Amino acid sequence: MFYLLSGTILTFSVLTITSRRMLRAAVYLLFVLVATSGLYFLLNYQFLAAIQLTLYAGGIVVLIIFSILLTGHISEKFKNPAPWKLWMGASVFIVGSAVALWALLSNELVRDTGVEEVQIDMHLIGNQLMGTGKNGFVLPFEIISILLLASMVAAIVIAKKENN
């Protein structure tokens, strides 16, 4: 099951960046994200899987598709990118995967931690998210909410008509 899911992720990731049509790329991205949530289901971490589905698949991909719907046309296709961009992309890819590989290989992977499988329930997540004690996340939570408020205000300011 794991190989099936990761195979899906790999295939559709490659298709996402090689597709010449914008909406198809977005749909391939959707498949990647859904398969990722499948990985979380496989780990029995259903909360994160559902978050992945609502936020990424249901939220972000829908936003992307919406913007394509508003701007793009069906016959539109991407041109081949300029060579220097290709080279830049390839070098970023090589450096990034080298760093990731180095990090993976230099760490000793723990095969069996001996920790029993825990069912993470809602109360635990809620208490941690709002907790002020050790491992409490209330400060980052509040900071993110301020960021969200700021961006909402900015969106309203941009969308507002000038009143002369």
Partner 1 sequence: MILSIYSFSTLTASIDKTLHRAMPPSIAVLAEFVLIGLLFLIFYALLGLFLVYLERKVCAVMQNRIGPNRVGKWGLLQTIADLIKLLTKELITIKNADNFLFNLAPFIVIISSFMAIAALPFAKGLQAIDFNIGIFYVIAVSSLEIVGVLIAGWSSNSKYSLIGAMRSGAQIVSYELSVGLSLLSIVIFSGTMQLSTIVESQADAWWIFKGHIPAFIAFVIYLIASTAQINRGPFDLAEAESELTAGFHTEYSGIKFAFFFLAEYINMFIVAGIAATMFFGGWMPFHIGHWEGFNEVMDYIPSIVWFFGKTFFIIYLIMWFKWTFPRLRIDQLLNLEWKYLLPLSLMNIVIISFVVLMGWYF
Closest alpha carbon to 93 in 15, 30, 14, 23: 14
Residues 79-118: x where in contact with partner 1 by CB under 8 A, - otherwise, as a string: ----------------------------------------
**Binder among 40, 50, 60, 128 for partner 1 (CB under 8 A):** 50
Under the criterion CB under 8 A, does residue 74 sit at the interface with partner 1?
yes
Under the criterion CB under 8 A, does residue 60 sit at the interface with partner 1?
no
**Binder among 14, 62, 90, 148 for partner 1 (CB under 8 A):** 62
Under the criterion CB under 8 A, does residue 61 sit at the interface with partner 1?
yes
**Structure token digits, residue 10:** 């790999």
Minimum CB separation of residue 65 from partner 1 in Å reads 5
Under the criterion CB under 8 A, does residue 66 sit at the interface with partner 1?
yes
Minimum CB separation of residue 156 from partner 1 in Å reads 13
Closest alpha carbon to 9 in 26, 27, 45, 34: 34
Under the criterion CB under 8 A, does residue 29 sit at the interface with partner 1?
no
What lies within 8 Å, CB to CB, of 24 at 6+ separation is 15
Nearer to partner 1, 13 or 60 (CB): 60
CA atoms within 13 A on the CB side of 81: 12
Rounded-to-integer distance, Cα 54 and Cα 60, Å? 9
Helix 22-42 and helix 61-71: axis angle, to 10°?
170
Judged by phi (left if over 0) then psi (alpha if -120 to 50, else beta), residue 81 lies in: beta
Nearer to partner 1, 9 or 22 (CB): 22
Q: Assess contact for 28 and 12: CB atoms under 8 A.
A: yes
Where does this chain bind partner 1 (CB under 8 A)? 21, 23-24, 27, 30, 34, 46-47, 50-51, 53-54, 57-59, 61-62, 65-66, 68-70, 74-75, 119, 121-123
